[in-house]
Amino acid sequence: MTNKTIIVTGGTKGIGKSIVLEFLKQKAQVIAVYSKDDISAQKMKDDLSESDRNRFFLYKGSIEDVDFLRNFFKDIEAKFGKLNVLINNAGINKDGLFLDMEEDDWNSVMATNLKGTLNMSLFASEIMKKSTGPSHIINISSISGVFGRAGQANYACSKGAIIGMTKLLAKKFAEYSIFVNAIVPGLIRTDMMEDMPEEKIEEISNATILKRFGEPEEVAKTALFLVSGDFSYVSGTCIKVDGGYSK
C-alpha cells in the first residue's frame, strides 16, 4: 500500500477509524472524512506517530453535500494526483419500526447511508477512471441489510440497497478496472452498540457460530484483503464479516 491514496468516510470512529489505522500501518496515504465530532478527529490525529501523522489527512463535511464533495475531490486530485481506494463507511442510524417511523428519520438515514455512498462513488470514479492500474471501491453494508431487523426499518433498507448498488456499480465501472465490493459486518464492537439493549446484544451474539461479536480491526483487515493485488477476480461481491450469523 506504500504511496497508495485511500479515502475512508466516517473515518474517525469505530470501523472507519480501524480501517484508517490499518492502511496507515501499510504505509498508505489516508484521507479520513468526518461530519461532526472535531474532538474525536483531533484526538485520533494526536495519537498517531509522527510518521503516520504525515500520511494522514482530515476533511470535515457531509457526504450528502454535493458542493462539499465537488470541492473535496478537486482538492484530492490536485494534492495527490490519484485515488486508489474509496471505502464508504459513513452511516447513521435512527432506529424504529416502519409504522412508527418519522419521515425525517427515514429521509436522513437514506440520505447519508445510501445517497451519500452513491455520491462518493460517482465523484471518486471520475478520478479513478484516469488511473492506469486497478482502483477499488468498498461499501460497508450490514447484516441488517441482509436479514432485516424490524426495529431498524430505515437502516436495514439503506444497507440492503447498498448491496444492490454495489453490484450495479461493479458492472458500471468494470471497463475502467474499478473493482466494487461490499463488506457486510455483523455485530461489531463500536459506539453504535451503546444504544442497544444488553439482551439484544446477547441474542445476536448467540446467533453467531463463533458466539461473540466482532472487532473493528477484523473488518479493517477484510478491507485490506479486498484491495490487495492477489484478489483481481473479485468484484460485485459481498463478504460477510459476521461470525457466521444465522437469524
Active site residues: 155
Q: What is the 3-state secondary structure (H, E, C) of the chain?
A: CCCCEEEEECCCCHHHHHHHHHHHHCCCEEEEEECCCHHHHHHHHHCCCHHHHCCEEEEECCCCCHHHHHHHHHHHHHHHCCCCEEEECCCCCCCECHHHCCHHHHHHHHHHHHHHHHHHHHHHHHHHCCCCCCEEEEEECCCHHHHCCCCEHHHHHHHHHHHHHHHHHHHHHHHHCEEEEEEEECCECCHHHHHCCHHHHHHHHHCCCCCCCECHHHHHHHHHHHHCCCCCCCCCCEEEECCCCCC
* 237-240 contacts, C-beta under 8 A, 24 or more apart: 237/181, 237/182, 238/141, 238/163, 238/166, 238/181, 238/182, 238/183, 238/184, 239/181, 239/182, 239/183, 239/184, 240/143, 240/146, 240/184, 240/186
Q: What are phi and psi of 88, to 5 degrees?
A: -85, 90
